């Protein structure tokens, strides 16, 4: 779930950066959130089978 969230947020950041350069600050916040989600995913060890 965290990996999917990170991928979606990075894609939104890249798309937004290319399309709406004016709101660069808000788009960089998306990148930071995506990086945090990716770190949480990696620290939890990826997908776990219950």
pLDDT (0 to 100) of residue 23: 67
Neighbours of 47 (CB within 10 A): 9
The SS3 assignment for 21 reads helix
Total count of residues recorded for the chain: 50
Which pLDDT score is estimated for 22? 62
Q: Are 44 and 5 in contact (CB under 8 A)?
A: no
The reported pLDDT for the residue numbered 48 is: 63
pLDDT score of 28: 81
Residue ranges in the chain whose pLDDT is less than 50? none
Query: 48 and 9 in contact (C-beta within 8 Å)?
Result: no
Q: pLDDT at position 15, please?
A: 82
Q: What is the pTM of this model?
A: 0.52
Structure confidence at residue 1 (pLDDT) = 81
């Amino acid at each position: 779930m965290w990996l999917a969230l990170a991928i979606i947020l990075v894609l939104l950041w890249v798309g937004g950066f290319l399309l709406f350069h004016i709101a660069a600050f808000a788009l960089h916040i998306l990148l930071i959130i995506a990086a945090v989600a990716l770190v949480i995913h990696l620290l939890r060890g990826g997908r776990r089978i219950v």
